[in-house]
Amino acid sequence: MPKVLLIDNNPKFQSVCQDFLTEIGYELEIIADITTAKAQLQSSQPHIIFFNVEMEEQTSVLWAEVSQYYSEIPTVIISNRHAHPAPHQDILDASQVKSILYHPIPTYRIGNVVGQLAPQSRSERDGHAQTWVGKNLGECLLESYISSGDFSWVYKGTYKGQSVVIKILANLGMQTQERMARFQREAGALAKFKHPNIIEILTTGETPEKIYYMVMPYFPGKNLDEFLQSEQFFSVNEASYIIHQVALGMAAIHTTQIIHRDLKPANILYHRESQSVKVIDFGLVREVGISEAKMRRTNAITRKGYILGTPHYMSPEQCEGRFLDARSDIYSLGITFYQLLTGLVPFDKSSPVKTLLAHIREPVQWPEMESRGIPMEIRDIIQKMTAKKAIDRYQSMMEVAIALSNTSVLANPANI
What are the Cα distances from residue 408, in Å, to 240, 280, 303?
11, 29, 47
* Helix (H), strand (E), coil (C) string for 122-187: HHHHHHHHHCCCCCEECCEEEEEEEEECCCEEEEEEEECCEEEEEEEECCCCCCCHHHHHHHHHHH
The answer to whether the beta carbons of residues 28 and 98 sit under 8 Å apart is no
Cα separation, 43 vs 29, in Å, equals 12
Q: Which among 8, 262, 281, 329 is annotated as catalytic?
A: 262
β partners of residue 214: 167, 204
CA-CA distance, 281 to 152, in Å (whole number)? 10
Report the distance separating Cα 191 and Cα 214, nearest Å: 9
213 forms beta bridges with: 168, 205
224-231 and 326-342 helices, crossing angle to 10°: 20
Active site annotation includes 380 = no
Nearest to 2 by CA among 150, 129, 118, 174: 118
Query: Active-site residue numbers?
Result: 262
